[in-house]
Amino acid sequence: MSEQSIVLVAPELRELSGAAPEWPLGAATAFASPAEGPGVGFNTRVVAVVPLVSQAVGASELDRYPALRVVANYGVGTDNLDIASIRSRGIEVTNTPDVLTDATADLAIALLLAAARRLREGLELARSGEWDGWRPTQLLGMGLQGKVLGILGAGRIGLATARRARAFGMEIVYWDRSASSRMEVEAGATRYERLESLLGLSDIVSVHVPLTPETEGMLDATRLAAMKPGSILVNTARGAVLDQAAVAEALRSGHLGGAGLDVFENEPEIPAELRELPTCFVLPHLGSATREARQAMWELAAANARAVLSGSEPLTPVIA
Ligand code: NAP
């Protein structure tokens, strides 16, 4: 009898997945990260891995699992995966688009509001016990009606964020490598082909491009200097799309009026200056953190793994 196959599931998914998810051909579940695996003697039985976006899968992990057929990422971003190495071995790659779009766009709007209305400073004042009463000019923020929101990356989350911002009376402009008719029709957005032009006229810029070699460090000191004085930067994409030190400097100098940041270059590290600056509102990567989204991400990742193991097409293959 052949040895039982194993599906390797990130241990952090145990609660969402139930103790014993069912897999084709009676494969068993092992809860372990791709870097650990089920152990020598068992690694050769691993046919699928379900990693978190914080867990790398590259050549060294792939060498350990010679029978691997699918990497079913628990997340839409795939910057944790060495896709070229995975594909070169004939292994399928999937992710979890759409099911987390609303949750992440909601959080982008939460950050946008937090930065525009100076919620961190307000919270700190309220909690300090030193608030001495209502004053007409206390902690004045930016009104959103009629302001320009610049969306970088007109994909699923960029569009969902733009549609929400329209309800606040914002005007939408966007930058993307390709035109998005949905962005133009559903959010009334205007496309800018030159990033610097969009940065110079946006009151708030929200980042929604994936982290790739092309987008890494895209918002560097020069591009941040091109942003409108007093404008606000929101990032729910990936930390390394920004030059974090340059963002801190732009906030310190007052060139940027505020920032709302959910993601950081070397998570879980959040640079001290970003944590400490009063105009910077930071969160610990909560974009998709709703019960609904995180459960749906598990269902989709598991369905992708099941499909590949059954010899069917995955529901949401990574195309690129
Ligand atoms: P998406 O639908 O693929 O949208 C990304 C958009 O960026 C697409 O329109 C894409 O254009 C564009 N783009 C890609 N590379 C570009 C480049 N070099 N220059 C200009 N535009 C480029 O992805 P999504 O579902 O909206 O997710 C976006 C990102 O959000 C994810 O990759 C992930 O990193 C992040 N995210 C974070 C959280 C969180 O918890 N904070 C949650 C979910 C997602 P094409 O259509 O031509 O590729």
pLDDT greater than 80 at residue 2: no
CB 210 within 8 A of CB 153: yes
pLDDT tens, residue by residue, 251-265: 999 999 999 999 999
Question: Comparing C-alpha atoms, which of 289, 288, 247 is closest to residue 265?
Answer: 247
The arithmetic mean of pLDDT across residues 40-65, rounded, is 96
State how far the alpha carbon of 153 is from the alpha carbons of 183, 223, 278, in Å.
10, 16, 28
In whole angstroms, what is the distance from residue 36 CA to residue 32 CA?
6
Q: Pick the catalytic residue: 238, 265, 294, 306?
A: 238
pLDDT at position 289 is 98
Q: How confident is the model at residue 1 (pLDDT cuts 50, 70, 90)?
A: very low
267 is catalytic: yes
Q: How confident is the model at residue 25 (pLDDT cuts 50, 70, 90)?
A: confident
DSSP for 250-278, please give it. Answer: HHHHTSEEEEEE---TTTT---HHHHH-T
| DSSP H stretches of helix in 98-180 | 101-116, 119-128, 156-166
313 is catalytic: no
pLDDT at position 15 is 94
Q: How confident is the model at residue 308 (pLDDT cuts 50, 70, 90)?
A: very high
Contact 306 CB / ligand 1 (< 6 Å): no
In whole angstroms, what is the distance from residue 67 CA to residue 259 CA?
45
pLDDT greater than 50 at residue 29: yes
pLDDT at position 97 is 98
pLDDT greater than 90 at residue 175: yes
Q: How confident is the model at residue 219 (pLDDT cuts 50, 70, 90)?
A: very high
- How many CB atoms are located within 10 Å of the residue 19 CB? 8
Q: Which of 174, 177, 192 to probe ligand 1 with, by most ligand atoms within 8 A of CB?
A: 177
117 alpha carbon, distance to own chain's centre: 23
Contact 236 CB / ligand 1 (< 6 Å): yes
For strands 28-31 and 6-9, give the pairing: parallel
pLDDT greater than 90 at residue 296: yes
CA of 158 to the centre of ligand 1 (A): 8
CB 78 within 8 A of CB 301: no
The arithmetic mean of pLDDT across residues 176-194, rounded, is 98
Return the ∠ at Cα 216 (arms to 100 and 300), rounded to 5°.
Answer: 20
Contact 215 CB / ligand 1 (< 6 Å): yes
The arithmetic mean of pLDDT across residues 221-233, rounded, is 98
Q: What percent of the chain lies above the pLDDT cut of 70?
A: 100
Q: What percent of the chain lies above the pLDDT cut of 90?
A: 97
Contact 212 CB / ligand 1 (< 6 Å): yes
In whole angstroms, what is the distance from residue 208 CA to residue 263 CA?
11
E-strand stretches of the chain: 6-9, 28-31, 46-50, 70-72, 92-94, 148-152, 171-175, 190-191, 204-207, 231-235, 256-261, 280-282
CB 56 within 8 A of CB 35: yes
Dihedral sign for Cα 181, 183, 188, 194, please: negative
pLDDT tens, residue by residue, 143-155: 999 999 999 999 9
pLDDT greater than 70 at residue 69: yes
- Residue 27 CB-density burial (10 A; 0-12 exposed, 13-18 middle, 19+ buried): buried
CA of 231 to the centre of ligand 1 (A): 22
Mean pLDDT of the chain: 97
Contact 238 CB / ligand 1 (< 6 Å): yes
Question: Comparing C-alpha atoms, which of 226, 271, 214 is closest to residue 244?
Answer: 271
pLDDT tens, residue by residue, 71-112: 999 999 999 999 999 999 999 999 999 999 999 999 999 999
